[in-house]
Chains A and B, each alone.
Chain A
Amino acid sequence: MPEASSRNSINAKYKTRLAIPPHFQQTTPAKITKLSRTPRSLAAFCFQEISFSYTLLEARLEQADLLKKVVDAIKDLVQDCNFDCNDSGVALQAMDNSHVALVSMMLKAESFSPYRCDRNVALGVNLTSLTKVLRAAQNEDILTLKAEDAPDVLNLVFESSASDRLSEYDLKLMDIDQEHLGIPDTEYAATISMPSTEFKRICMDLMALSESVSIEASKDGVKFTCAGDIGNGAVTLRSHSNVDKPDLDVDIELTEPVSLTFSLKYLVNFCKAAGLSKSVKLCLSNEVPLLVEYALAGSSYLRFYLAPKIGDEE
């Protein structure tokens, strides 16, 4: 609750500073006709130009940090992808080159303040290029995304809350043909919540030994095992709750035992999102992709899906 109030105060400040009436474009045609007869025709001309560059999307993020981290986490998995913007928020779904992993991101409208999207628009972006632009933003900067109708660029504005620095970038967009997969809500046999750093550590440690890890969830706990040329290793976690630091809780919900093998390289890649959320949720069922979910503020999320390895072909 204290968080929400602080957001409101910043909101108010922002509004007064920019003083842009929402949807002012709809009223401009009348204004232009009126002004064009007056001697101040130059002003009218300026107005006209503004009204042509109709802003379709305007999304303001309190902290550039969020988008920076999200893009950082995805950019090593996919190269180009569409940011699908609609009135409920900004969504992203993309697969890696081999189509064995899928990333699904949802930044709900509530994560932005304000958020306005008049029509559904897909912003095709090369993530490496976006990273380059985002590098110019400080973590605490206020970030505003803007796009026109039928855009060929994505406009990014970084405002430093501390100083009155304002930087503005246009990123060229691209046409990307992407197929969207419908992902049904699944009841998983095992759901494991753990600190995201813990999951990252396990992945990194086992990666030193092998290319793949087998995850076994049973009533005893969850066991990550791997076997490689130099030897083998296993990490076992049991349900555990820490009263002082609830972030370190490990929670295992199990309806039936599961054992699946995954590529560690991909998992390590997913772990780049560890900075986004203190905890990570692993959902497993036999013969379906593993879901690795990082919950974000609000009901936004970043989810990764990875196909299990079937058959021992090592």
Chain B
Amino acid sequence: MAKTRGRPAASAEKDTTDSKPIATGQKTPLKAEVSNPPQLFILPENLGQEARIVQLENARQSTNSSYLVCPETGFYEFTRIAAPKSTPRSWLLSQGLDTPDNIAKGEEGAESKLVNNISNDGYVLRNANLLVATPIDSLFLMLPALTSKSETKGAEKKLFLSGEDYLEKLASDSPDIRPLLKNESVRVLLEKRMAAICDTVDAGDETMYRISEEKLLIELMKKAERMVMNGLTPSLEEKFVKKALDVPTPLVIVEEEVTKSTLSTPQAETPDTQSTTLSGESLATSFSEASTAATSFSEESSITTTKVVIQPVEPSIEAPEGVADLLRLRTALSFICSKYLSPKISETIKSLANSSASAKDFTPLDNHLAHLAKLRQEALATRSLGDASRKRCFDDEDEEGNGESRAEKKRKKEEEEKRKKAGESRGVKNLKKVNVSGMKKMSDFFKKK
């Protein structure tokens, strides 16, 4: 069981006196906000004494992020779970059950004073952030050290280096880890993971390492497969698999259905028309999302994980056998790439994954997606022709875009119409009212010259 406890940031210790004791049964005004408020973590249970939160280089953003390193259980990253800005929330930490564990914890440790305070009086945290420590493969932490050389020198051939050198490099980039590297188990852990993604050469009693993209891909593929095994997260599944494989219905057919239903039962009309607008919308959004998804995804996933995914009732995916699974796998892979790998490596990995060297063959998926893209284009073309309401919408956009020229155009048109009217004799006007039904055009009788 993971236990909850408030853990102050390094400087928060001296602020312990600023915490807000609330006398039970008596209203006490809240004290002024602490400049560096404590944060709420969910940490693994069996952390060793040596566990530390350290700043390490984040492979994706090439900035430092906080990681929890425990020599016994490994590396953890923090996932922040926050309320969306539109609905601000706060934590109210109240006195919990007086479990023996709680009391024991309260008596020990340097930071225990605050913990004591909270458990006795309760505490209000302004930010409703919750930082959850989740295990992370240490190879992602090693990646900056392994690849930084090739990044700086570009085309130069990658050299084999000893594990020692890489760790030294890691320590120089993220000095926080240095004390931890003194611990043998951490070193072993890191080297083991390093070996998994590197070509190795034995030079005497030392093993030399050099990063191998192929091996990295294999590792990532394993992770992706594991991710897919129990099904993708619903939001990922919805956004990248269902929408991508959504077969566009040609609008003409949909309209026919609507008219049919209006003819037969008036009640059936409403749901049917709704479904048409829905499909139209999902089509339009899926286009824009698919294009921006790769870049926007990493941030979104870390912040709005709490977002409730409402899954609308949609028809099951229609795709050839295996294509959906391939797409899931690719989605998982690109998710990992976009979250944990630097843009440069993720590019190499993606191209490698699509190449023939990859263990998985993505060609059926590519073919199917190309086919879908074509269908969508066709659907879009028919819609822009057939759907008057959409047309109107485009017109409006146009108006916003160049309202002035449009107004001028309109004025000109009106003027022209007026002039035309003025040049029209009464007889011509009267002839317009004549019923010409049953009369053929002159061009039907006489051929054009």
Taking Cβ atoms with an 8 Å cutoff, the residues of A that contact B are: 75-80, 95-102, 126-129, 131, 179-184, 211, 263, 265-266, 269, 272, 288-289, 305, 307-311, 313
Query: Is B439's CB under 8 angstroms from A263's CB?
Result: yes
Whether A79 contacts B438 in the complex (CB less than 8 A), given A181-B443, A181-B446, comes out as no
Interface flag for B425 (CB, 8 Å): yes
Q: Which B414-449 residues sit within 8 Å CB-CB of chain A? A: 420, 422-428, 430-432, 434-449
Q: Which of A77, A102, A311 contacts B442 (CB 8 A)?
A: A102
Nearest Cβ distance between residue A253 and chain B, in whole angstroms? 22
In the assembled complex, the Cα of A305 lies from the Cα of B447 at a distance in Å of 14
Query: Is B441's CB under 8 angstroms from A307's CB?
Result: yes
Query: Is B431's CB under 8 angstroms from A77's CB?
Result: yes
Can you report 10 residue pairs joining A to B where beta carbons are below 8 Å apart? Answer: A76-B427, A79-B428, A98-B441, A181-B446, A181-B448, A211-B434, A211-B435, A265-B430, A289-B442, A305-B442
Query: Is A100's CB under 8 angstroms from B427's CB?
Result: no
Looking at A95, A179, A307, A313, which has the most chain B CB atoms within 10 Å of its CB? A307
* Cβ contacts under 8 Å, A309 to chain B: 437-439
Judged by DSSP, the binding face of B is mixed
Whether A269 contacts B438 in the complex (CB less than 8 A), given A181-B446, A182-B446, A182-B448, comes out as no
Query: Is A180's CB under 8 angstroms from B442's CB?
Result: no
* Cβ contacts under 8 Å, B448 to chain A: 179-182
- 8 further A-B pairs in the complex, CB-CB below 8 A; given A76-B425, A78-B428: A97-B431, A98-B434, A98-B439, A99-B442, A100-B439, A126-B423, A183-B446, A305-B445
The chain B residue with its CB closest to the CB of A100 is B439
Query: Is A75's CB under 8 angstroms from B427's CB?
Result: yes
* Cβ contacts under 8 Å, A266 to chain B: 431, 434
Q: Which of B431, B440, B441 contacts A310 (CB 8 A)?
A: B440
* Cβ contacts under 8 Å, B431 to chain A: 76-77, 96-98, 265-266, 269
Query: Is A100's CB under 8 angstroms from B428's CB?
Result: no
In the assembled complex, the Cα of A183 lies from the Cα of B444 at a distance in Å of 11
Query: Is A76's CB under 8 angstroms from B443's CB?
Result: no
Whether A180 contacts B436 in the complex (CB less than 8 A), given A100-B442, A269-B431, comes out as no
Closest 8 CB pairs of A and B: A76-B427, A181-B446, A100-B439, A180-B449, A309-B438, A307-B439, A99-B441, A126-B423
Whether A307 contacts B445 in the complex (CB less than 8 A), given A100-B440, A265-B430, A265-B434, comes out as yes
Nearest Cβ distance between residue B246 and chain A, in whole angstroms? 47
The chain B residue with its CB closest to the CB of A131 is B425
* Cβ contacts under 8 Å, A128 to chain B: 422-425
Looking at B420, B427, B430, B431, which has the most chain A CB atoms within 10 Å of its CB? B427
* Cβ contacts under 8 Å, B438 to chain A: 309-311, 313
Whether A99 contacts B425 in the complex (CB less than 8 A), given A181-B448, A311-B438, comes out as no
Looking at B435, B442, B445, which has the most chain A CB atoms within 10 Å of its CB? B442
In the assembled complex, the Cα of A100 lies from the Cα of B434 at a distance in Å of 11
Nearest Cβ distance between residue A297 and chain B, in whole angstroms? 25
Query: Is B428's CB under 8 angstroms from A97's CB?
Result: yes
Nearest Cβ distance between residue B449 and chain A, in whole angstroms? 4
Nearest Cβ distance between residue B18 and chain A, in whole angstroms? 86
The chain A residue with its CB closest to the CB of B442 is A102
Query: Is B440's CB under 8 angstroms from A97's CB?
Result: no
In the assembled complex, the Cα of A96 lies from the Cα of B420 at a distance in Å of 15
* Cβ contacts under 8 Å, A98 to chain B: 431-432, 434, 436, 439, 441
Nearest Cβ distance between residue B439 and chain A, in whole angstroms? 4
